[in-house]
Amino acid sequence: MARPPVHLSMEEGLVLSAFGTARRTFSSTLLDASWAILRQSLQQKNTPSPALYLGKIYALASLGNLQRAFCTLHEFETGYGNLQEQAEDLFSPFTSLNQSVVACFKIGFETLDSTFEASRVFEHLVSMGVKTNATSFTLLVDAHLINQELKAALSVIDEMILIFSVVNAMRVRSDIGDA
């Protein structure tokens, strides 16, 4: 089902354009300045549009600044998370947040300061509906191993085995029920 077009004000369109330029030129300064100007123009009274939040999140993720991208996502959820009908589309890792999820997995978790933060990002993605698979678990295990956290890596492997065994058991039960 096609979504209706979103009409942005001229200021929002310019800010989105600046976000795109910041992303292409790897300029976090341009991104920060654009956001600051936007917030000043809104006089801290209005919330930026979802398109602006998504643009900022994608730009930050593309710049490799996953920590700030997820902080902005949290701010976005605070402002728009209570819109029941729109929330599913706004926070979907398969549509609106897809580019950020892809950037996260493309970059991996090496830009984060600690595996604790990597684990928080992973848990947040799961809570947003991202389906875990062998690749997502492998990235998290790798992050723990890089930091020589063997017990944490083994814990992630145990969790992966548990999740995949439950999924397989559910498939078997479903197949038995269909027979």
Per-residue pLDDT band for 160 (boundaries 50, 70, 90) equals: confident
Per-residue pLDDT band for 29 (boundaries 50, 70, 90) equals: very high
Please, is 126 exposed, middle or buried when counting C-beta atoms within 10 Å of its C-beta (0-12, 13-18, 19+)? middle
Report the share of the chain in percent with pLDDT over 90: 3
Amino acid identity, residue 110? E
Per-residue pLDDT band for 106 (boundaries 50, 70, 90) equals: low
DSSP string computed for the chain: -PPPPPPPPHHHHHHHHHHHHHHHHT-HHHHHHHHHHHHHHTTTTSPPPHHHHHHHHHHHHHTT-HHHHHHHHHHHHHHHTT-HHHHHHHT-TTTTTHHHHHHHHHHTTTTSS-HHHHHHHHHHHHHTTPPP-HHHHHHHHHHHHHTT-HHHHHHHHHHHHHHHHHHHHHHHHHHHHH-
Work out the mean pLDDT of the chain and round it to a whole number.
75
Per-residue pLDDT band for 178 (boundaries 50, 70, 90) equals: low
**pLDDT computed for residue 11 by the predictor:** 73
Q: Does residue 72 have a pLDDT over 80?
A: yes
Q: Which residue has the higher pLDDT, 92 or 64?
A: 64
